[in-house]
Amino acid sequence: MNYTEKLQNVTVLGAAGKMGSGILLLTALEMADLSLKPENKGKLFILNAMDTSSDGLKGLMKYLKTQVLKAAEKKVIALRQVYHDRADLIDNSEIIDQYVEDVLFIVRPTTNIEAAYESNVIFEAIKEDPALKVKIFNQINQNNKKSPWFCTNTSSIPISLLDTDANLDGRVLGVHFYNPPAVQKLVEIIQTKATNPELVEFVNMLSKNLRKVLVPSNDFAGFIGNGHFMRDALHGINEVEKLATNHSFAESVYMINRITQDFLIRPMGIFQLIDYVGIDVCQYIMSVMNPYLPDENLHSNLLDQMLALNVRGGQNSDGSQKDGFLQYEKGRVSAIYDINKKSYVPIADIQAACDEKLGVLPASYQPWKAVVGNKNKEEVFKTYFNELKTHDSFGAEIARNYARRSKEIGIKLVLDNVAYNENDVNTVLLTGFFHAYGPINDYL
């Protein structure tokens, strides 16, 4: 089968979830665009949106309609050419409505896994549970006579484990979209020595059509993205535990979160990022990675304690942030959780004292928003970090150590043969995490 033929029948598992819905949207748009080409006229394209939640699927279809409408409005000029032989479509609004209808016609919401038994390609975005993934892959593989290809969105589980345990004979590839898939440009591609090269070629072509930035990673638990993020987060947690011997827990979290955002010029502090991903998700990813790391212990007792107190972070169905280490009001941080008091402490109660303890930022400091799009940001960072080197403030000292640890983590990913080179590590952090500079640099 060629590229188009493979995309005539596709299933997305976990389609109503945060990652699955984005993957489904991108796939639906690509399949619809293929179906509208003259050479594919009359061919049937089917995209099964499979999820165990009926309510979730209802919400998915509303989401799809809204997002496809936006996509159609952006490319209405191109769509005029697509529908040039339709005399009945005159106004832009009519062309847009027709495109939305054509995309949604392809999507078949279902709670039955049997729908995947006829698919050529399976995109999987279910719970990050190796046993569950293997069970479902095995079930589909045994009942699907087409020897389907499996594209798993796992962010931490070794692909070779899934391949071997589900008896897929190299027909599985790690295709790790970043959150949210419809917006994020980065896709990590993880293949094993047994991966079918035609599957890799197919995903490369699909990713190119979706205008994604591809970064290859070797098949090692956590890959590049979580390989760096989990260790970076653990360093932040350890720093909080050190500070908490002389400061309150809430003060310690506030200071490390501010250092990682302001002093290191990142889009958000490390505890905001942990909350965004979910405390429970971070804990689970660490538990998946840890057995493969004989020379280190990727585990946090603090995350265990937070979850025992039912402080989980993550996001609501509407995309708003749930409370975690930090409390949020209208998207802004308003309070810090104190694990000893088992309650949130308003930032207003601790901010002034903490900021005084951290000290002022270097004079050349510019916030992430002002720097990230600056064509001359390399010079900006050189100047800033040169100042940070000699700054004698408490915050600057912790920031320097944090930046050095971040670089050390990045270099180790290359030395351990997780990443192919330093540039790939930096690309993942720049593109997938929106950092303004890569962790492997010569600033300090």
pLDDT value at position 8?
98
Domain boundary among 167, 196, 217: 217
Is 237 found in the same domain as 160? no
Token pair 């983590």 is at which residue?
A: 409
Q: Answer whether residue 311 shows pLDDT above 80.
A: yes
Domain boundary among 162, 190, 217: 217
Is 138 found in the same domain as 59? yes
pLDDT value at position 331?
84
The one-letter code for the residue type at 419 is: A
Instruction: Decide if 364 is inside a domain.
Output: yes
Give the residue from 11, 4, 83 showing the smallest Cα distance to 46.
11
pLDDT value at position 318?
73
Is 272 found in the same domain as 150? no
Is 248 found in the same domain as 396? yes
Instruction: Decide if 279 is inside a domain.
Output: yes
Instruction: Decide if 408 is inside a domain.
Output: yes
Say which range, 19-33, 47-61, 309-323, has the weakest mean pLDDT: 309-323
Is 383 found in the same domain as 273? yes
Is 197 found in the same domain as 338? no
Is 411 found in the same domain as 347? yes
Q: With bands split at pLDDT 50, 70 and 90, how would you rate the model's confidence at 90?
A: confident
Identify the domain containing residue 198 by its residue range. 3-217
The per-residue pLDDT of the chain, averaged, comes to 96
How, if at all, do strands 107-110 and 46-50 pair?
A: parallel
Number of domains the chain contains: 2
pLDDT value at position 407?
98
CATH number of the domain that residue 367 is part of: 1.10.1040.10
User: Per-residue pLDDT tens for 104-143?
Assistant: 999 999 999 999 999 999 999 999 999 999 999 999 999 9
Instruction: Decide if 291 is inside a domain.
Output: yes
User: Per-residue pLDDT tens for 137-189?
Assistant: 999 999 999 999 999 999 999 999 999 999 999 999 999 999 899 999 999 99
Is 203 found in the same domain as 279? no
CB 119 within 8 A of CB 148: yes
As a dihedral over the C-alpha atoms of residue 419, residue 421, residue 422, residue 427, rounded to 10 degrees, the angle is: -70
Q: Compute the average pLDDT of residues 65-75.
A: 96
User: Per-residue pLDDT tens for 347-394?
Assistant: 999 999 999 999 999 999 999 999 999 999 999 999 999 999 999 999
Instruction: Decide if 440 is inside a domain.
Output: no
Is 190 found in the same domain as 129? yes
Q: Compute the average pLDDT of residues 248-254.
A: 98
Is 293 found in the same domain as 156? no
pLDDT value at position 316?
82
Is 331 found in the same domain as 211? no
CATH number of the domain that residue 26 is part of: 3.40.50.720
pLDDT value at position 330?
87
pTM for the full predicted model: 0.93
User: Per-residue pLDDT tens for 8-50?
Assistant: 999 999 999 999 999 999 999 999 999 999 999 999 999 999 9
Q: Answer whether residue 319 shows pLDDT above 80.
A: no
Q: What angle do CA 4, 109, 74 make, to 5 degrees?
A: 60
Give the residue from 286, 277, 50, 289 showing the smallest Cα distance to 161.
289
Is 12 found in the same domain as 125? yes
pLDDT value at position 163?
97
The one-letter code for the residue type at 48 is: N
Instruction: Decide if 395 is inside a domain.
Output: yes
Instruction: Decide if 189 is inside a domain.
Output: yes
Give the residue from 266, 235, 228 showing the smallest Cα distance to 401.
235
Domain boundary among 186, 217, 248: 217
Instruction: Decide if 439 is inside a domain.
Output: no
Give the residue from 370, 273, 396, 397 showing the smallest Cα distance to 325.
273
